[in-house]
Each structure stands twice: as structure tokens, then as C-alpha cells.
Amino acid sequence: MTLLLLGFCGCTDEVIDYNDPDVDLFVKQLKDGSYKTKGPDGYIEVPKFTREDIPKLLTYADDLTIIPSFPLPPVCTYFGTKVRLGECMLWIVESIRLGQYASLGCKMVYADATNYEGIYFLSNEEVHDAAKRYRFWWENSQYPQTQWTITPCYNDPLCGSGYRWW
């Protein structure tokens, strides 16, 4: 009886609230391949993160762990290469910044990429550079724009990097 009771205690699944997600639990589930939260339309998708979640999402931006899968937008037909956790966290931040999906996949490529071939994907070092750019953008977006801060790159973390979302 005791073994049976212990077996049941170890099988509780932590559920992510789609509308009020926990970043740490989301990352844990992405890493172990157990993420299965469905959105309002019944598809497994990224939960509804907000600007308030950006600092926590950015703490994972340098994590280059290859994750088993990532919940791409339902309209995406690309199921290609392995995905890095940090790059996906940056994709979520970019999607929050834009107010829509950053792209149909959580991969950054060189700005002049003509297709989705691996030769255009960013290296680990370049993903770290992109993470640094997103942190810089976030830190500076906390301050109001003035006539001295108005630049073409004020609200675009990848501006001038040679990277873009595919």
C-alpha cells in the first residue's frame, strides 16, 4: 500500500496557466519535453507572456540547451532543425515587443538569408550577441525617449546586427 501511495505522489503534472504563465516552469517543461499547454484554439502553443515577463525570459537567453521541441505558431509548416532554448526565449521577447509572432519559427538567420538553410542560422556566439542586444534594448526601453535618444535603432534590438527572425 505504501509503495502504491508513493507512486501516485510522484506522478503529479505541473500545469502552466496559459493566461498567467510561470517562466521557470515553462522552461523546465521545454527542457524535459513535457510542455503541452494548449491555447484557446486547442493547439499547443506558447502561453500568453507579457512585458512583465521579459526580464525573466531574458535570464534564459544565453542557455543554448537543445530542446526536444518548441510550440511554433499553428500556421507554421516548418519543422526543421534543432532549436536552442535561449533563441526561443528571444523569439518570445520579440513577439511580445511586436505584439504578434516574431516569425513562424524560433530561429534567427543572417539578414541577407534567402532561405531556411542551415548555413544561414546563427552560431552559438551570435545567439549570445543577440541576447546581449536584447538585454541592452530592454534596459534602455525602461527610460522615456527624449530628443537625445531618438535613433533608428531605439526600439529594435537587432538593428545593425546583421540578424533577423526567419
DSSP string, the chain: -HHHHHHHHTTPPP---TTS--HHHHHHHHHHT----B-TTSSB------GGGHHHHHTTTT--PEES-----TT-----S-EEHHHHHHHHHHHHHHTS-S-SSS-EEETT--S--GGGBPPHHHHHHHHHHHHHHHHHHTSPP-TTT--TTTT-TTTTTTEEE-
Whether residue 6 is contained in a domain is answered as no
Residue 137: the pLDDT is 93
Q: Does any domain span residue 121?
A: yes
Report yes or no on 145 lying in a domain: yes
pLDDT for the residue 136: 94
Distance CA(112)–CA(20), nearest Å, equals: 37
37 pLDDT more than 80: yes
| pTM for the model | 0.88
Tell me the per-residue pLDDT of 49-76, one tens digit each, with 9 for 90 and over: 999 999 999 999 999 999 999 998 777 6
pLDDT at 9 over 60: no
Contact 43, 16 (CB under 8 A): no
Looking at the predicted structure, is the pLDDT value of residue 149 above 70?
Answer: no
Q: Is the pLDDT of residue 23 over 70?
A: yes
Whether 11 is covered by a domain: the verdict is no
Task: Reply yes or no on whether the pLDDT at 30 is more than 90.
Answer: yes
Domain assignment present for 76:
yes
Q: Are residues 4 and 39 in contact, defined by beta-carbon separation less than 8 angstroms?
A: no
In a domain, residue 59? The reply is: yes
Instruction: Extract the C-alpha cell encoding 141.
Output: 526601453
What is the mean pLDDT of the segment spanning 21-49?
95
Give me 21's grid cell. Answer: 504563465
Whole domain around residue 31: which residue ranges?
16-165
In the chain, the number of structural domains is 1
Write down the pLDDT at residue 80: 60
| Most confident option among 2-16, 56-70, 108-122 | 56-70
Mean pLDDT for all residues in the chain? 87
Any domain includes 83: yes
Over range 149-160, report the average pLDDT: 83
**Residue 20 within a domain:** yes
